[in-house]
A and B are shown apart, each in its own frame.
Chain A
Amino acid sequence: MFEYKKFLEYPVKIKNTNPRLANIIITQYGGPNGELAASVRYLSQRYTMPDKVSKGLLTDIGTEELAHLEIVGSLVSQLSKCAPPEEWEKLQSWEYYSDNGASVYPQSAQGSPFNAASIAVTGDPLTNLYEDLAAEQKARAVYDNILRLSDDPDVNEVIKFLRQREVVHFQRFGEALDKMQSDLKQKKITGTGLKKCK
């Protein structure tokens, strides 16, 4: 089960509102490469993992991604909080405002609501880990895109932290993959999920 901690993994304190930037960063809340997708992907993949390293790692990284979801939500919230309609219009973000006001809604930067089609859970342990490695790279690339679009130092400090975590997660998933491949070779585990359970 989960227990809530009443603090963020990394502090978020944004001085200036900027609804336009909020509408870009929201993509890491509910977009295809975002933190919600990451968390649901990892926590859902756990159930068919054959080895303790992958079971543990998916649990722990899946949990950290929930903390990242909260950080991104805080960014979006603080960037748009109390911004009057005129500011949304000036920054050309009225589409978001019309449905969601100044709240945090899981959608991509292009406006598609969160869709689980952006994650894969195949039941095949190796395929899952390859998916996870790709997912971490995609999330890292999106944070790089955001860094190119944002010139707010308060925001960028937080985005850089999140970006760095994707690099660490990629590293750990790579180690879990190496371990799984050597376990498979030594027949310590049967990996494909195609075998009948006893």
Chain B
Amino acid sequence: MSEEALNLLKKIQQTTFASYDMLLYLDTHEDDKKAFKLLQSLGTKKKALIAEYEDKFGPLMQSAVPEQESFNWLDNPWPWEKEGNK
């Protein structure tokens, strides 16, 4: 994976994690409007980052596979491999 791909992936991991943590928080604080606003803005950011990545480097989500120009879901590396992480 290129340095650029790894850096973008790291940002995606950070935003995805932050969103997930906010989701768990909201599960037990469902009336917290401020928290939901934050989740919404994280969601927008995450969506844009993932779209950029999938556009440039291939699918991250199974649902994005049909949007690619060719079938590249199998391209290495996979997440558990050293090469897929930074």
A-side residues, CB < 8 A to B, are: 3-14, 53, 56-57, 60-61, 64, 70, 73-74, 77-78, 168-169, 172, 175-176, 179
Contact = CB atoms under 8 A, between A and B. Distances in A.
A10 B80 contact: no
Contacts of B21: 168
Contacts of B61: 3-6
Contact of B27 (A5, A60, A70): A60
B80 A12 contact: yes
B79 A172 contact: no
Contacts of A10: 13, 17
A196 B70 CA distance: 55
Most chain A CB within a 10 A radius of its CB, from B10, B30, B79: B79
Given A8-B85, A11-B85, A56-B27, A77 B12 contact: no
Contacts, number: 80
Contact of B24 (A7, A61, A77): A61
Given A6-B79, A70-B80, 16 more contacts: A4-B62, A5-B16, A5-B60, A6-B59, A6-B61, A6-B78, A7-B16, A8-B13, A11-B13, A60-B20, A77-B80, A78-B81, A78-B82, A168-B21, A172-B27, A176-B28
B28 A8 contact: no
Nearest to B83: A13
The main secondary structure of chain A at its interface with chain B is helix
Interface residues of B, number: 29
B84 interface: yes
Nearest to B10: A11
Contact of B28 (A4, A13, A14, A179): A179
A9 B17 contact: yes
Contact of B13 (A4, A9, A73, A175): A9
Nearest to A11: B85
A162 B1 CA distance: 25
Interface string B51-86: 000000001111100000000010000111110111
16 contacts: A5-B61, A6-B61, A6-B73, A8-B13, A8-B85, A9-B13, A10-B17, A11-B85, A12-B80, A12-B82, A12-B85, A57-B24, A60-B20, A64-B24, A172-B27, A172-B28
